[in-house]
Amino acid sequence: MIVPKSEAEIELMREPCRIVRDCLAFVGERIRAGMTTKEVDGLVYDFIKASGAEPSCLGYYGYPASACVSVNEVVVHGIPSERVLAEGDIVSVDLCAYKNGFHGDGARTFRIGKVSPEKDKLVRVTEECFFEGVKDLKAGSPLYDIGYRVQKYAEANGFSVIRSYTGHGIGREMHEDPSVPNFGRKGTGVRLAAGTVICVEPMIAAGGWRVKVLDDGWTAVTLDGRPAAHYENTLVVHEDGVEILTL
Q: Is 191 helix (H, G, I), strand (E, B) or coil?
A: strand
Taking the complex as a whole, the smallest distance from the CB of residue 33 to ligand MF3 amounts, in Å, to 24
The reply on whether position 105 binds ligand MF3 by CB under 6 A is yes
**Distances from the Cα of 222 to the Cαs of 1, 71, 76, 234, in angstroms?**
31, 11, 10, 25
φ/ψ region of 138 (left if φ > 0, alpha if ψ in -120 to 50, else beta) reads beta
Q: Which stretch binds Co ion (CB under 5 A): 5-13, 55-63, 151-159, 192-200?
A: 192-200
Q: Which of 4, 12, 63, 84 binds ligand MF3 (CB under 6 A)?
A: 63
Query: Dmax of the chain from CA atoms?
Result: 47
Site string for ligand MF3, 129-158 (x = CB under 6 A): ------------------------------
Spatial strand order of the sheet with 211-213 comes to 74-76, 220-222, 211-213
- Look at residue 50 and give its three-state secondary structure: helix
96 binds ligand MF3 (CB under 6 A): yes
| Count of residues in contact with ligand MF3, rule CB under 6 A | 12
Q: Would you count residue 204 as binding ligand MF3 (CB under 6 A)?
A: no
Ramachandran region of residue 127, left (φ > 0), alpha (ψ -120 to 50) or beta? alpha
Contacted by 68, from Co ion, ligand MF3, none: CB < 5 to 8 Å by type: ligand MF3
Using rule CB under 6 A, residue 220 touches ligand MF3: no
Report 23-62 residues binding ligand MF3 (CB under 6 A): 57, 60-61
DSSP for residue 60: G
Residue 211 in the binding site for Co ion (CB under 5 A): no
How far apart are CB 44 and ligand MF3 at their closest, in Å?
Answer: 11
Q: Is 51 helix (H, G, I), strand (E, B) or coil?
A: coil
Question: Which residues contribute to the site for ligand MF3 (CB under 6 A)?
Answer: 57, 60-61, 63, 68, 77, 94, 96, 105, 199, 201, 232
